[in-house]
Amino acid sequence: MKHFFNRRENIVTEALDGLLLTTGKGRLARLDTFPDIKVILRADWDKSNVAVISGGGAGHEPSHAGFVGKGMLTAAVSGEIFASPSVDAVLTAIRAVTGPSGALLIVKNYTGDRLNFGLAAEKARAEGFDVEMVIVADDIAIPDINQPRGVAGTLFVHKIAGYYAEAGEDLATVAAHAAAAAKDIVSLGMSLSTCSVPGQVHEDRLGENEGELGLGIHGEPGVERIALQPVTDIVATMIDRLSAALSDGADHALLINNLGAVPPLEMTVIANAVLSSSIAKQVRLVVGPAPMMTALNMNGFSLSLIRLNPDREAALVAAVAPHAWVPVVERHEITVVAAPASTGKAHMTASEHEQSRRLITALCNHLISLEGELNRLDGRVGDGDTGSTVASGARSILARIDTLPLSQPAATLASIGDILGTSMGGSSGVLMSIFFTAAAKAMAEKPDIAAALLAGLDRMTFYGGAVVGDRTMVDALAPALKALASGNVATAAKAAAAGAEATKSMRKAKAGRASYLGERDLAGVPDPGAVAVAGAFEVAANLA
Structural domains present in the chain: 8-195+209-330 (3.40.50.10440), 348-543 (1.25.40.340)
- The pTM is what? 0.76
Cα–Cα distances in Å, from 390 out to 180, 394, 411, 412, 451? 65, 6, 22, 19, 24
**What does the pLDDT read at residue 516?**
38
Sheet with 252-258: list strands edge to edge: 224-227, 210-213, 185-191, 300-307, 252-258, 283-290, 329-330
- pLDDT > 90 in the chain, percent: 76
pLDDT score of 533: 95
Is the pLDDT at 189 greater than 90? The verdict is yes
Residue 248's pLDDT is 76
Q: What is the pLDDT of residue 517?
A: 42
Q: Residues 442-470: what's their mean pLDDT?
A: 93
**Annotated active-site positions, please?**
218
Query: Are the C-beta atoms of 406 and 353 separated by less than 8 Å?
Result: yes
Q: Is the pLDDT of residue 83 over 50?
A: yes
**Residue 289 contacts residue 301 (beta carbons within 8 Å):** yes
Give me the pLDDT at residue 254, please: 98
Q: Is residue 379's pLDDT more than 80?
A: no
Q: How far apart are CA 229 and CA 213, in angstroms?
A: 12
> Is the pLDDT assigned to residue 146 strictly greater than 50?
yes
CA distance linking residue 512 with residue 514, whole number of Å: 5
Give per-residue pLDDT as tens, 467-514: 998 889 999 999 999 999 988 899 999 999 999 999 888 865 555 444
387-418 pLDDT, tens digit each: 899 999 999 999 999 999 999 999 999 999 99
Mean local confidence (pLDDT), 347-362: 89
Average pLDDT, the chain: 91
The residues, ordered by sequence, that sit 6+ positions from 289 with a Cβ below 8 Å of its Cβ are 256, 257, 258, 264, 267, 268, 270, 271, 301
Q: What is the pLDDT of residue 143?
A: 81
